[in-house]
A and B are shown apart, each in its own frame.
With several copies, the nearest count.
Chain A
């Protein structure tokens, strides 16, 4: 067991996989010599050399196209898109090409690509560098979507993503980078499609993702003070989705909340809410409630950004009021 920051866990997880598979390569802007603009790839160039860790031009379509072409001809690839907002400039490769090629070709091609990207708000970067776009990816058939909330999950889910033969979009949260936690020694390989109950409870289920997980946990702590026992689920993997964990929990608690950083409309929480409102309808004892960033572009000013993302206060208040 060693303590690792979420930031360092990224390079640690990648290194584990690059040592295992000598074919695995990585490319992206400023990832090599500079160690990444978020310092998430420090040390990888030194260990694996410039053939396997490659700096690219600012050409996101070319980056992901190269990843896809290499992957479909036998070389697994990790590609970095520096900010998840930039998926927009290469969205065709992600949504129309990588996601669909296996199906369209009747199963002739595999696309073992992991697209790593820095997601989410809290850095006062404004509307074009702070988005939570995990729902952009969840809605595309053919993409797997993962968003870890802890250093250990970064390592384990990275391994699972790299070893998965399908394209996986791997969301690293900018505001979690500095946080530290224990990471077990030895090879760590997690499983996609598995949520984790991070706090058990009996009165309501709160599904959260990435930065929202610690906030939901803190809110649950406070709710406990009011005698409300909240179960908190770290969804971890949006596709595949661990619906069993979610439905099982609602079966127990009869109340369902989501805490989403993506803006409201068509967020991942809407999907979960719709599943619960269908399949767990008879278990529910009250409305299904979503706590989301409002449906606005994210503002830059500290004061405004802090009002936008779901806060511990907002989670706490919403659950308390609606469960009363």
Chain B
């Protein structure tokens, strides 16, 4: 047996050279974004952060069963897009979808209740953390098998195009998702039909436990593939809500104008592990440290102060968010486990699950 085989990566990923965040681009402060929108993005990031921290606590208390995938550290992406979208636009997310669901306006209580598997959950407990959906808010679902939802987002964009509305569909996905077949099919399809869809890769540098560069032929797994579909390869600082909002608004405007799809790679980092139980030890310590220092929320806090928002206003936001998260938690805990009557509903549009007469 030869050992002349190309090594697929360092043996121990935690010993590999760190991939460090870029420096803060202070000029993003000067982007023409209304202060009011910025304050909203701050609040949204606070909501996402505090909500998921609570979800993590509830998991540690064994109240969240199953699994959950947090966006802690990645909130700026959901916040930037959250503000850039119109209420009638469509979002599609992965199993890591809490942030995107909340960013579209879903109430915190039913989302939290869903994580706890309660009857008052947003999916009546049937879907759980990985499948959050709120059709009334344009949040068309969280999909737990890598790749599929990029093609489904195309369909929503196609429907908008057929109806002649100028709605836009956005699909969020991870860096690891860029190597699956459905990614390729979806991008080509969107491009040839000029679909109003925005593909947003949240590149957090890892698939589950494997660094993305070990398994990708190009350094920027999404952006470097854009030209294969006649698209620009847009890379944005995914830890800066302003930068995200800026490119998001451009891409959404382009789609609305009938100029077709965009592909955006937002580089970011998750503060925790891939999913509930993962301590994330496969990451170089200096890498984790550097990214924690680039936490999008304190950075944005600082920026708002520089832009003249009073410290007290920001503190008040934090406080009120804490109250909302507390209420959501109580709401969730107050729900009962779904009863048997729910087991057999909603397989078919007619309400039930009968496969025979």
Point out residues on A near B: beta carbons under 8 Å. 22-23, 25, 29-30, 32-34, 37, 45, 49-52, 54-62, 64-75, 77, 85-86, 88-89, 92-93, 96-97, 101-110, 123-129, 141-142, 164-166, 193, 239-244, 264-265, 294-297, 299-304, 307-308
Contact A62 B125 (CB under 8 A): no
B148 at the interface (CB under 8 A from A): yes
A65-B193 Cα distance, complex, nearest whole Å: 14
A55-B8 Cα distance, complex, nearest whole Å: 7
Least CB distance from A241 to B in Å reads 5
Top 9 A-B pairs, shortest CB-CB distance: A69-B155, A65-B151, A300-B128, A301-B125, A124-B66, A301-B117, A303-B337, A57-B215, A165-B349
Q: What 1/0 flags go to B129-153 for Cβ under 8 Å of A?
A: 1110111000011011111111111
Contact B340 A300 (CB under 8 A): no
Chain A binding surface SS class: loop
Least CB distance from A79 to B in Å reads 10
Contact A109 B188 (CB under 8 A): no
Contact A72 B145 (CB under 8 A): no
17 contacts between A and B (CB under 8 A): A30-B209, A50-B5, A52-B1, A55-B215, A58-B180, A59-B185, A59-B189, A66-B155, A69-B140, A75-B162, A93-B151, A104-B127, A106-B122, A106-B124, A106-B127, A108-B134, A125-B128
Q: Which of B9-17, B27-35, B74-82, B252-260 touches A?
A: B9-17
A308-B344 Cα distance, complex, nearest whole Å: 10
Contact A103 B126 (CB under 8 A): yes
Specify which of A25, A264, A300, A303 is in contact with B127 (CB 8 Å cutoff): A300
Specify which of A51, A66, A104, A109 is in contact with B140 (CB 8 Å cutoff): A109
A187-B98 Cα distance, complex, nearest whole Å: 47
Contact A124 B128 (CB under 8 A): yes
Residues of B contacting A88 with CB < 8 Å? 145
Contact A30 B207 (CB under 8 A): yes
List CB contacts (< 8 Å) of B233-254 with chain A.
none
B216 at the interface (CB under 8 A from A): yes
Contact B192 A57 (CB under 8 A): yes
Given contacts A57-B192, A62-B188, A296-B347, contact A126 B128 (CB under 8 A): yes
Contact A105 B123 (CB under 8 A): yes
B318 at the interface (CB under 8 A from A): no
B304 at the interface (CB under 8 A from A): no
Residues of B contacting A308 with CB < 8 Å? 343
Given contacts A65-B155, A265-B355, contact A57 B216 (CB under 8 A): yes
Residues of B contacting A22 with CB < 8 Å? 1
Contact B140 A239 (CB under 8 A): no
Given contacts A22-B1, A65-B155, A73-B140, contact A294 B344 (CB under 8 A): yes
Residue in A closest to B128 when the chains form the complex, CB atoms: A300
A264-B340 Cα distance, complex, nearest whole Å: 18
Given contacts A89-B147, A96-B148, A296-B347, contact A57 B207 (CB under 8 A): yes
A243-B355 Cα distance, complex, nearest whole Å: 9
Residues of A contacting B148 with CB < 8 Å? 61, 65, 92-93, 96-97
A95-B75 Cα distance, complex, nearest whole Å: 32
Contact A301 B140 (CB under 8 A): no
Residue in B closest to A123 when the chains form the complex, CB atoms: B66
Specify which of A85, A295, A303 is in contact with B338 (CB 8 Å cutoff): A303
A183-B214 Cα distance, complex, nearest whole Å: 37
A128-B130 Cα distance, complex, nearest whole Å: 9
Contact A301 B145 (CB under 8 A): no
Q: What 1/0 flags go to B182-217 for Cβ under 8 Å of A?
A: 100110110011000000000000011110001110
Contact B347 A103 (CB under 8 A): yes
Contact A23 B1 (CB under 8 A): yes
Contact A70 B1 (CB under 8 A): no
Contact B155 A68 (CB under 8 A): yes
Q: What 1/0 flags go to B313-345 for Cβ under 8 Å of A?
A: 000000000000000000000000111101111
Contact A302 B117 (CB under 8 A): yes
Contact B343 A304 (CB under 8 A): yes
Contact A69 B176 (CB under 8 A): no
Contact B7 A50 (CB under 8 A): yes
Residues of B contacting A64 with CB < 8 Å? 151
Contact B345 A107 (CB under 8 A): yes
Specify which of B8, B90, B129, B356 is in contact with A50 (CB 8 Å cutoff): B8
A177-B131 Cα distance, complex, nearest whole Å: 25
A264-B353 Cα distance, complex, nearest whole Å: 12
Specify which of B130, B186, B343 is in contact with A65 (CB 8 Å cutoff): B186
Given contacts A30-B208, A37-B208, contact A300 B125 (CB under 8 A): yes
Least CB distance from A229 to B in Å reads 26
Residue in B closest to A102 when the chains form the complex, CB atoms: B346
